[in-house]
Structure 1
Amino acid sequence: MGTVSRRPRSGVARRIPDPLPPETPKETVLRWLREGEIQLLGLVPWGSNATFLVAVVHEGITGLAIYKPQRGEEPLWDFPHGTLCYREVAAYVVSEALGWGLVPPTVLRRSGPYGRGALQLYIEADPEENYFTFRDDPALQPTLMRLAVFDLLTNNADRKAGHCLKDRNGRIWAIDHGICFHAEPKLRTVIWDYRGQEIPEDIVEEVRAFERRLKTDADLRGELARLLRPEEIAALEERTAALLERPVFPHPGPWRSVPWPMI
């Protein structure tokens, strides 16, 4: 998703409010995103797709979010046009189903200033930090390993270092998931540090619980069915089963395995 690590430097039309306090309950954040009035603040001047910093106002709560309208998506040869905003939301759904909380709260808005699009909580993060600056921190290894597994499961085709944010409390967030969930292998990431290592057992058990949910949780399956194509959900199930059968961090494949630019 297009959450960014700093605010836009141009095109701001309104006063920029403060981000939501980090202690705001998740259900409050989701209701605020789903029901709030969206006010455009400015176009984020980087990225290939239209991305806007917006204020969201609902029931006396005003804060920042990132809005990616469907109509601002650049056509891609290998992803169906107009589906990137759905994939952003699907990434949040999978992150929550895994219990990992890696992706900021994200919803699909049927209408907005530029029509249908994904709306994601803005993360106030240090612009000098990215995956390359904090990947060697021992305290972050459990989270970063889960992020590597998350990208494998979601078939992330664009995990740049700058898509990994560290917020002001030191929490790691993953953003920009518009080109995930392809039915064909597409994994492109800068996170190859764990290649060849066994995936820790606690992470494997969390993935196993996710696999059970994929099979039995009608609400989860229904939500994914509204966001992804049947063959993409089937591929997600296959990748999950393959990881459980061989719980080892993969090596780069024969295709282009690192995104460009890397940050």
Structure 2
Amino acid sequence: MSEDDAPIQLTETEVLAALGAGRIIEQGILPYSSNHSFLVLVSDGDLTLPAVYKPQQGESPLWDFEWGTLCKRETAAFALSAALGWDLVPPTVLRQGTRGLGSVQFYVENDSDQHYFTVQADARFADAFRQLALFDFVINNADRKSGHCLVGADERIWAIDHGICFHADYKLRSVIWEFSDQPIEPDLMADLERVRCQLLDPRDPLTDEIAMLLAPDEILAMRDRLDVLLRAATYPAPSPFRRNYPWPPV
């Protein structure tokens, strides 16, 4: 099976297993990245998958995020997306690689000319962008650029680059604000409530996974943001007192 066949023929569980256990073969460094990011192939038996490997050692120091945690935040974003059932984030694992501990995320084939600003009016993607607006609030995404929304070869939206999320202080910066103050749909409210209950249950596997990736105050803040959404039952709106958009926006 080639990597071109993989997105169609493999289940998420199979992709995660391969990403976690396969041999990492570096293909080259990705240009224009703030942190070291490598395009790799992950080979597991007869299966070879394209992926992006972001080693902890390649993370640039930031004043507001603890060094060495960005790869964990990437992995936590996938875990939360999967728990919500929205599958916005490509399968991602935290593992040892050729350059030490790092996140390894399935590489989504995409058209680089297509991103949020070019497809936001496309009705096919409206539901995904609604989910993404809520998701970014929950994970406190400080950098939702237009180019971090991919249109995959499977004609669906994928969200990438979640290294600076989950801060305990409110830092949401996004290009997706067109749903502000609109009522959240009942099915999405149900998803948010379900995950909130999971995060409150010490026996739930999601609780254990998130606890290994984020600091206790960050987990508490995420639960508080879920409570805010569930109480308001409306999409988040930009604040008049802070910067709400990332720069550059693409």
Tell me, yes or no, whether TM beats 0.5: yes
Specify the TM-score bucket, using the shorter chain as the normaliser: over 0.9
Check if 1:256 corresponds to 2:240: no
Q: Distance in 2 between matches of 1:175 and 1:119?
A: 12
Q: Indicate which of 221, 232, 244 corresponds to 1:246.
A: 232
The corresponding residue for 1:167 is 152
Contact 1:20 / 1:64 at 8 angstroms: preserved in 2?
Answer: no
Q: CA 1:233–1:20 in 2, change beyond 3 Å: closer, same or farther? A: farther
The residue correspondences of 1:154-233 to structure 2 (distance < 5 A) are 154-216=139-201, 217-233=203-219
1:196 counterpart SS class: coil
Q: Is the 8 A contact 2:134 2:236 kept in 1?
A: no
Which amino acid in 2 is paired with 1:162? G
Gaps of 5+ in 2: none
- Cα displacement (A) at 1:218: 2.5
Indicate conservation of the 8 Å contact 1:20/1:63, yes or no. no
Structure 1 residue 208, shift from structure 2 partner: 1.0
Contact 2:51 2:105 in 1 (8 A): yes
Partner of 2:6: helix, strand, or coil? coil
SS in structure 2 opposite 1:22? helix
CA offsets per residue over residues 111-140 of structure 1, 9 Å max, x none? 211111000000001111000111111221
Contact 1:91–1:154 (CA under 8 A) maintained in structure 2: yes
Percent identity of the aligned residues?
46
**Partner letter of residue 193 of structure 2?**
R
Question: 1:12 maps to what in 2?
Answer: none
CA distance in structure 2 between the aligned counterparts of 1:261 and 1:68, rounded to whole angstroms: 21
Report if the CA contact (8 A) 2:35-2:60 is conserved: yes
TM-score of the aligned structures, taking structure 2 as reference length: 0.96
Q: Report which stretch shifted further, 182-191 or 130-139.
A: 130-139
What is the TM-score with the length of structure 1 in the denominator? Answer: 0.91
Counterpart CA distance in 2 for 1:234 and 1:193 is: 28
Please tell me whether the aligned partners of residues 3 and 49 of structure 2 are also in contact (alpha carbons under 8 angstroms). yes
2:64 aligns to what?
Answer: 78
- Is 1:101 matched with 2:87? yes
Partner amino acid, structure 1, of 2:115: N
User: Aligned equivalents of 2:38 and 2:90: distance in 1?
Assistant: 16
Return the letter of the residue paired with 1:180: C
Shift of 1:25: 1.0
Aligned CA RMSD, in angstroms, stands at: 1.1
The count of residues paired between Structure 1 and Structure 2 equals: 246
* 1:214 alignment partner AA: L
Determine the C-alpha separation between the residues in 2 that align with 1:97 and 1:63: 23
CA deviation profile, 1:172-207 (whole Å, cap 9, x unmatched): 100000000000000000001111211112211111
In structure 1, how many angstroms separate the alpha carbons of the residues matched to 2:150 and 2:223?
Answer: 28
- State the Cα distance separating 1:47 from its structure 2 match: 1.4
Partner of 1:68, secondary structure, is: strand
